[in-house]
Chain A
Amino acid sequence: MTETAHRETAAPVVRTVHVKCAPGSAFALFTGRITDWWPLQRFGLFEGETLGVWFEGERLVERSRSGEEGVWAEVLEWSPGSKLVLSWHPGTPAADATVVEVEFLADDDGTRVVLTHHGWEKLGELAAEARGSYAQGWLSVLEGYGVLVGREA
């Protein structure tokens, strides 16, 4: 792969959704009610054993019925109604964190929520270092990081 192609492939993942409420409400629902909207059965650490996931101080924590806890993220910026920045490492050590930014932008009929995931390509590189094989490495990252990803309900 050329350097240019590599940079493009590794550019931040940016996804957008529009909600009808104002940015203040959108931010409050996004952060305060995450247990109620996040697809925990599919994208969670504890499957059917999960109690939920909450912001507790500077951390975002999922808890299970049997008392286990899994830290998904630390808060890097908390700007109600405008921006949330997280050091994101669900299912992996904090050292493997990447950065997830969520912006809440007012528009004519509500809020545009723009999520930007920076540095995610590091997941593949970390795995490659650990396993010595890139192809094997990213698969294991999808599995490890991916305790949150792609699990069927």
Chain B
Amino acid sequence: MALAEPTRRQVLEGLRAGPRSVGELTDAVPVSQSAVSQHLRVLREAGLVKERREGTRRVYRVDPDGLSALRFYLDQFWDDALEAFRRFADEEGTT
């Protein structure tokens, strides 16, 4: 899920205070700039983060429409929980 990866959470945390560029985010987390860019791509595809151009640089911010992010999050959450149930039930259950 989009937030489960710890560095990705840190990247998102880094945007809580306000919009940041990739370079500014890289200063805040212990991974390379290309890794930060990868995480930002996943977060953007998940609807958690929005991108904007400011002159020559791209700036990222938390998407104010949190509903799509919440929905995405809950979809993943329940899928994980139900999949765990399926594995257990198919091992334990009798018809």
Q: Interface of B with A (CB < 8 Å)?
A: 1, 3-6, 9, 12, 16, 61-71, 73-75, 77-90, 92-95
Contacts and interface: CB of A to CB of B under 8 A. Distances in A.
Contacts, number: 127
Given A110-B95, A141-B66, A150-B9, 13 more contacts: A10-B71, A16-B82, A19-B86, A36-B92, A42-B4, A121-B67, A134-B66, A135-B64, A136-B62, A139-B66, A146-B73, A149-B3, A152-B4
Interface of A: 1, 6, 9-10, 13, 15-22, 25-26, 29-30, 33, 36-39, 42-43, 110, 113, 115, 117, 120-121, 123-124, 134-139, 141-142, 146, 148-152
Nearest to A40: B84
Nearest to A13: B74
Contacts of B79: 15
Contacts of B88: 29, 33, 36-37
Nearest to B1: A150
A117 B78 contact: yes
27 contacts: A1-B65, A10-B67, A13-B71, A13-B74, A13-B78, A15-B79, A21-B94, A26-B89, A29-B88, A33-B88, A36-B88, A37-B84, A37-B87, A37-B89, A39-B80, A117-B74, A120-B71, A124-B66, A135-B62, A136-B16, A138-B69, A139-B66, A141-B66, A146-B3, A146-B73, A150-B9, A152-B5
A7 to B, nearest CB: 10
A138 B80 contact: no
Contacts of B61: 135
A9 B67 contact: yes
Contacts of B70: 120-121, 123-124, 138, 141-142
A79 to B, nearest CB: 18
Given A19-B90, A135-B66, A141-B70, A113 B77 contact: no
